[in-house]
Structure 1
Amino acid sequence: GRIITPLKDRFGSQIRTHYPGTVDLENRIVEQERSHFTLPGIEVTMPAFMQEVVTEISHHARRSPVVSQRSGVSVRMTVANTEVLIANASRRALRTGESVAVPRISDLDAIFPSSMGKIEFETFGEGRDDDALERMIGEAIKSVFLKTVDPTLLEPLLTAFENGLTVTVSDSADAYSYVHQVSAVDSLSEVISGLVTTNSPQESASAIEFVLEGLHQVRKVSRRSRGGNVTRYSI
């Protein structure tokens, strides 16, 4: 937590704040405090694993030696990042003509501006703040992935990669392009079903991205950016 300085300066009093003790508690606070904006004809679904990733980013920042712990990292960052993810997913739905907006891992690029406004880094050198935040995002994804996905179910997917499978993802791609790319990997449906709450292609696409990036974070597949926020996963 932190001391709210203006109260001390103006009134001679102090209020020391504290962070939510668990990811689950912070998620409930975020759901209560975030703006629930809607667009006509578009339904928003936030997968549990994506919300947990966003919250874990804040938790990793609170433990990071490159973040000023004196300034702290409040729940407001988690709230802001959740809102930004939903906004980016909604924008994609408008562009692709889809009726369901579901945040994906590729939408996390959009939280860099909202996070930078909420974190005080103790790094020196151009670009190092971005690098530090990118590492925190990777660590958060890895943490949630290891808690939510059974690695034994991914062996057929890894075999497909070894046999030449490549998967291209983008924050602007429609959901059906994802399903088409991995349709030959039958066992992947079991992994996806354990992550989603609906059968919508949009939620499945989000789960596919999460699994791919999780595999990258545990060094099972490689990831290559192709520009324009397009990423290719392969071995």
Structure 2
Amino acid sequence: MNSAPAHLPRTAGALREAGHTPRGVKTELHENLLAALRSGRDPWPGIVGFSRTVLPQLERALLAGHDVVLLGERGQGKTRLLRTLAGLLDEWAPVIEGAELAEHPLEPITPASIRRAAELGDDLPVAWLHRDQRYTEKLATPDTSVGDLIGDVDPVKVAEGRSLGDPETIHFGLVPRAHRGIVAVNELPDLAERIQVALLNVMEERDIQVRGYTLRLPLDVLLVATANPEDYTNRGRIITPLKDRFGAEIRTHYPLDVAAEVDVVRQEADLVAEVGEPLLEVLARFVRNLRESQVVDQRSGVSARFAVAAAETVAAAALRRSAITGEEPAVARPVDLDAVPAVLRGKIEFEPGEDGRETEHLVHLLRRAVAETARDRFAGVDLAPLANAVADGHLVATGERVRGRELLESLPELPVLHEVAHRAGAAEDDSPGRIAAAVELALESLYLARKLAKDADGTTTVYGP
């Protein structure tokens, strides 16, 4: 974290002379969002697939000053979206230096800070808080207590000589410490109902109550939360009074098309080898097939993280093959897709009665995704010359010990191979690995169309008549 710029005021008096005017966090978000929209700047960097659905709703909620709950299945980017809210805050915000809460120097709210401000006047020291430090995130768990969220009596302060009735014996919880910032609660329904009650005052009256204290702190926070639709009836629920206090409930969703799914994978995956666009499309279609399958528990959902993990697995398989064969650069080929079902089977929840058939279903849906991608990529291309060449005795072997160059040398010079490579995004002078990946996709599509046979022995796969 860079230190605050030196030119910023360091006392309350200097802050006042600079013409600084306190404004609430919701006003700050409102004005900064409007400025971004007017200038054409994207307020939501890294968010893919929500531009026409979720983001307009969220922008309207922020402009209205509403607290927000995002409702959607796992892996839809809810948390990622909430974290981008910090980018709409001012880069630096003034706070009272040494104060327990992030209080504005011109508007202190705790008894200790009010007393300091009265004693020091314009000499009250000012520190500056970066926007990233004004976003607070809490994963709701059943063992979360009111003390964690709101606060509780600090026995150490009592032991120091303060009386139990002194408000300064309170140790503030997460929400008060997020004063003048954003509080995000992930999986809100997992919070015990009696704990959710503690948030009612925060959301409506904008204050906190700790045990029997009469302390009233006018908190300035934006409360946002995430929840799974099933949580309303299964693991837990958001209590009705709390739901009523959220100004906006916004439904999220998985990417609506293959292109958006590919964009998510390309953005999020840490690939250790090159994975071409066609294979990313295969994985995107694979995930979409899983989300439509009747054998998969759709209440649990199929997370976008599945596609990301699948791409990383395919890249790892390509890197391993490259290490074994010595072929550089490491480029993924369709044969590397075989690693996906076995490795990622545990990330999917299947319907009851499908025990023992999980891998069979995954392999079937993956093959369907390969066929759909090849049909889309090679539409209008006559692959018959390639099928005839294989039928005439040019058997093609692929596998973890077969280089791309060896695969290409198995086939005669055919004009259709250049067209196949072009359709798959490879140029004629590209590495043999990239061209082999395109040719192998065409061979696999011919096999799935029952125009070629395929024989696999575990390490080597041979395409033949």
Q: TM-score, normalised by structure 2?
A: 0.46
Query: Partners of 2:337 and 2:388 in 1: how far apart?
Result: 28
Give the structure 2 partner of residue 170 of structure 1: 399
For 1:26, give the aligned amino acid: E
* 2:267 counterpart (32, 35, 38): 32
Contact 1:153/1:187 (CA < 8 Å) preserved in 2?
Answer: yes
1:209 aligns with 2:443: no
RMSD: 2.3
Query: Partners of 2:319 and 2:74 in 1: how far apart?
Result: 37
1:60 aligns with 2:273: no
- Alignment of structure 1 residues 126-205 onto 2, 5 Å: 127-150=356-379, 152-198=381-427, 199-205=430-436
3-state secondary structure, aligned to 1:169: strand
1:30-85 per-residue CA deviation (whole Å, 9 max, x = no partner) reads: 12111254xxxxxx432110110011110000001111101110100000000111
Query: Partners of 2:301 and 2:342 in 1: how far apart?
Result: 17
Report the structure, 1 or 2, having the larger helix content. Answer: 1
For 2:344, give the aligned amino acid: S
Matched residues, number: 228
Contact 2:289/2:369 (CA < 8 Å) preserved in 1?
Answer: yes
Question: Could you tell me how far 1:117 is from its partner in structure 2?
Answer: 2.4
For 1:51, give the aligned amino acid: L
Query: Partners of 1:56 and 1:151 in 2: how far apart?
Result: 21
Question: Could you tell me how far 1:143 is from its partner in structure 2?
Answer: 0.6
Query: Partners of 1:109 and 1:162 in 2: how far apart?
Result: 25
3-state secondary structure, aligned to 1:223: strand
3-state secondary structure, aligned to 2:370: helix
1:20 aligns with 2:259: no
For 2:386, give the aligned amino acid: L
For 1:197, give the aligned amino acid: A
Query: Partners of 1:36 and 1:139 in 2: how far apart?
Result: 24
- Alignment of structure 1 residues 27-106 onto 2, 5 Å: 27-37=262-272, 44-106=273-335
For 1:14, give the aligned amino acid: A
- Relative to structure 1, is the Cα distance of residues 32 and 164 closer, same or farther in structure 2, using a 3 angstrom cutoff? same
Report the structure, 1 or 2, having the larger strand content. Answer: 2
Decide which moves more: 184-193 or 96-105. 184-193
Larger RCO (CA within 8 A; separation ≥ 6):
1
Question: Could you tell me how far 1:101 is from its partner in structure 2?
Answer: 1.1
Runs of at least 5 residues in structure 2 that lack an aligned partner in the other structure? 1-71, 76-185, 194-225, 230-251
For 1:132, give the aligned amino acid: H
Contact 1:153/1:188 (CA < 8 Å) preserved in 2?
Answer: no
Decide which moves more: 73-82 or 212-221. 212-221
For 2:419, give the aligned amino acid: E
1:147-197 per-residue CA deviation (whole Å, 9 max, x = no partner) reads: 010354312112223323321111331111111011343432222222133
3-state secondary structure, aligned to 2:283: helix
Query: Partners of 2:73 and 2:355 in 1: how far apart?
Result: 28
1:218 aligns with 2:455: no
Contact 2:74/2:302 (CA < 8 Å) preserved in 1?
Answer: no
For 2:276, give the aligned amino acid: P
Query: Partners of 1:125 and 1:66 in 2: how far apart?
Result: 7
Query: Partners of 1:3 and 1:34 in 2: how far apart?
Result: 17
- Relative to structure 1, is the Cα distance of residues 33 and 232 closer, same or farther in structure 2, using a 3 angstrom cutoff? same
For 1:29, give the aligned amino acid: V
Q: Which has the larger radius of gyration?
A: 2
- Relative to structure 1, is the Cα distance of residues 3 and 157 closer, same or farther in structure 2, using a 3 angstrom cutoff? closer
3-state secondary structure, aligned to 2:296: coil
Q: Give the share of equivalent positions with the same residue, in percent.
A: 32
Query: Partners of 1:219 and 1:191 in 2: how far apart?
Result: 19
- Relative to structure 1, is the Cα distance of residues 191 and 139 closer, same or farther in structure 2, using a 3 angstrom cutoff? same
Runs of at least 5 residues in structure 1 that lack an aligned partner in the other structure? 38-43
Contact 1:153/1:191 (CA < 8 Å) preserved in 2?
Answer: no
3-state secondary structure, aligned to 1:183: coil
Segments of 4+ moved more than 4 angstroms: 3-6
Decide which moves more: 13-22 or 55-64. 13-22
3-state secondary structure, aligned to 1:78: helix
* 1:117 counterpart (317, 322, 346): 346
Contact 2:342/2:359 (CA < 8 Å) preserved in 1?
Answer: no
Decide which moves more: 216-225 or 73-82. 216-225
Contact 1:8/1:14 (CA < 8 Å) preserved in 2?
Answer: yes
Contact 2:404/2:436 (CA < 8 Å) preserved in 1?
Answer: yes
- Relative to structure 1, is the Cα distance of residues 203 and 119 closer, same or farther in structure 2, using a 3 angstrom cutoff? same
Question: Could you tell me how far 1:224 is from its partner in structure 2?
Answer: 1.6
Give the structure 2 partner of residue 10 of structure 1: 191
3-state secondary structure, aligned to 2:191: helix
